[in-house]
Amino acid sequence: MSCTPSGRSADANKLVIYADQGEETISRFIYGHFAEHLGRCIYGGIWVGEDSPIPNTRGIRDDVVEALKQIKVPVLRWPGGCFADEYHWKDGIGPREERPTMINTHWGGVTENNHFGTHEFLDLCEQTD
């Protein structure tokens, strides 16, 4: 295999791969699932709420749990992305209707109701185990 940046001669840069020398296995624990509140990853994705017609267990979609089990996801990362900068774990526990809302300033002032919070994330982890 050889790589040539534009404007350079073909023999100025060379990449050699010795495939027969690889002895180490990359740990599966460096891979995982990134669960971000942006878009529909959480609301409508992982979390649909207990009253949803979509099959769920305590508001968490059954098909998502099954998919995570099938791929044997070693790590679930939540909260992900910029949401983690402003999230406070205590805001995501207790009765949902009593949880404080927060304004996510990274996404232009989106209001987060914390209905998928710390408690629900831990429930998701238990369901995928």
What are the residue boundaries of the structural domains of the chain, listed by start? 28-128
Higher-confidence residue of 49 and 26: namely: 49
Residue 66 φ/ψ, nearest 5 degrees: -65, -40
Task: Tell me the whole-structure pTM to 2 decimals.
Answer: 0.76
* Count of all residues that appear for the chain in the document: 129
Q: What is the pLDDT of residue 30?
A: 84
Closest residue by Cα to residue 59 from 92, 106, 107: 92
In the three-class reduction of DSSP (H, G, I as helix; E, B as strand; rest coil), residue 57 is classed as strand
Q: Tell me the per-residue pLDDT of 33-53, one tens digit each, with 9 for 90 and over.
A: 888 887 788 999 999 999 999
